[in-house]
Amino acid sequence: MTVGVLFGGPSPEHDISILTGLLALRELHRGRGDAVGIYWTKTGDFYQVAATTEAEAFLEGVPRGAGELSLRLGAEGGFYLSGGRLSKEKRLELSAVVMATHGGPGEDGTIQAAFDLAGLAYSGPSVAGAAIGMDKWVFSTLVTQAGLPALPRALLSAETTSVDFAGPYILKPRFGGSSIGIDVVEDLATAKARLVTNVHLARGCVVEPFRSDLTDVQIAVRTYPRVELSAIEKPIRRSADAEILDYRDKYVGGEGMVSAPRELPATLAAGQAEAVREAARRITEVALVRGVARIDFLASDTELYVNEVNTIPGSLSKHLFVEPPLPFATLLADLTAEALERPAHRYSAAGADGLVLRSAGSIAAKLA
């Protein structure tokens, strides 16, 4: 059984996706020897890369020796390796693909939909689960409807004249993650000005009250072979003056989320740990979590709010499963098994029996 690992992609999180992908690829190669690296470039092309490739090989783009791939849909869909001028293309016989794609079309349901149409089994969220997790407005609406605690959130546009809560405000790209594009402002006028100057807010912006008294608390969940929760962590900001946990706090350190400073397991006030776990289990159901996801909260000793869900987290949150310890090889094996045994989607033409077509009559007559 050959397993592919997809990473990269046209996303601001391209680089960290490479790190996550290489970690998974190297672990699979070390244990199985038949793992295939699939690099998705910033411009949307695909290449096969060696399982032993290092991160620095991607500094100039496509690593040397990489083979160009094409993705085809349909009954014979999948990845095909270009054979050059003198040989035929070769289909990669992949049993499943481990998704290490952060942000953008790798985490919003786009590539998941393509894989569904290509008949490729894959790990992580379904199309619907990915779309829910990427859309902060939709996710917060579902959280609120499920009766879970969340800070008030509103959509912000150039036409917005007021919101139902006072500043200061934190602005977040409606479609995005990993703290990229997040901004803290004092008033609504400044917030609206950011819509012009902050490129990450171009597709939509959500605004909520900025609470400097709350800290970040995170927990991972995996859904195969059963729903299991990780230890709870409290990420630590590299600068005491930082307003938020930013991209550098999370990823700049050489090994993705694994090297980020943290308190693990987190020390929480009485009752908070159980509240986090209870909310995480509920979100797993409400947000259609599949594979491994990280759920982020904002907390104090007396308050707890659901913040967001990261449906394909950095390093696949392998570092959070410490109670009990879970080997990375086991985590990857379970992701692969889930991809094969519980497909994200199966299309069906049941009910399309031709009855409507037989009774349709002339199309030209319908246009008359």
pLDDT tens for each residue of 113-136: 999 999 999 999 999 999 999 999
Calculate helix-pair angle for 136-145, 272-286, nearest 10 degrees: 110
Which amino acid appears at position 195 of this protein?
L
Using pLDDT thresholds of 50, 70 and 90, give the confidence band for residue 83: confident
CB 61, CB 101: distance < 8 Å: no
**pLDDT, tens digit, for every residue of 214-234?**
999 999 999 999 999 999 999
Tell me the C-alpha distance between 233 and 245, whole Å.
Answer: 13
The rounded distance, in Å, linking the Cα atoms of 176 and 349 is 34
pLDDT given for residue 253 in this prediction: 56
More confident residue, 115 or 251: 115
> Where does the pLDDT of residue 85 fall: very low under 50, low under 70, confident under 90, or very high at 90 and above?
low
Of the two residues 256 and 35, the one the predictor is more confident about is 35
**Residue 249 pLDDT > 80:** no
Question: What pLDDT shows up at residue 240?
Answer: 55
Interatomic CA distance for residues 288 and 223, integer angstroms? 10
Least confident stretch, 125-129, 193-197, 250-254, 314-318: 250-254
pLDDT tens-digit series, residues 282-308: 999 999 999 999 999 999 999 999 999
In this predicted structure, the answer to whether residue 259 has a pLDDT above a threshold of 80 is no
**Could you give all domains of the chain from N- to C-terminal order, each with its CATH number?**
3-122 (3.40.50.20), 125-150+213-325 (3.30.470.20), 152-210 (3.30.1490)
- Considering only CA atoms, which of 55, 67, 112 is closest in space to residue 92? 67
What are the tens digits of pLDDT across the range 320-352? 999 999 999 999 999 999 999 999 988 889 999
| Region 243-258 average pLDDT | 57
Q: For residue 366, is pLDDT > 90? A: no
pLDDT at position 25 is: 97
Work out the mean pLDDT of the chain and round it to a whole number: 93
| Average of per-residue pLDDT across 242-268 | 68
Specify the pLDDT at position 237: 73
As a whole-number percent, the residues of the chain with pLDDT over 90 amount to: 84
Looking at residue 176, what is its pLDDT?
A: 84
**Percentage of the chain exceeding pLDDT 70:** 93
- Cα 101 from Cα 105, distance rounded (Å): 8
Strands 35-40, 3-8: parallel, antiparallel or unpaired by DSSP?
parallel
Strand ranges of the sheet holding 169-173, from the earlier edge strand across to the other edge: 154-156, 205-209, 169-173, 183-185
**Lowest-pLDDT range, 173-177, 192-196, 269-273?**
173-177
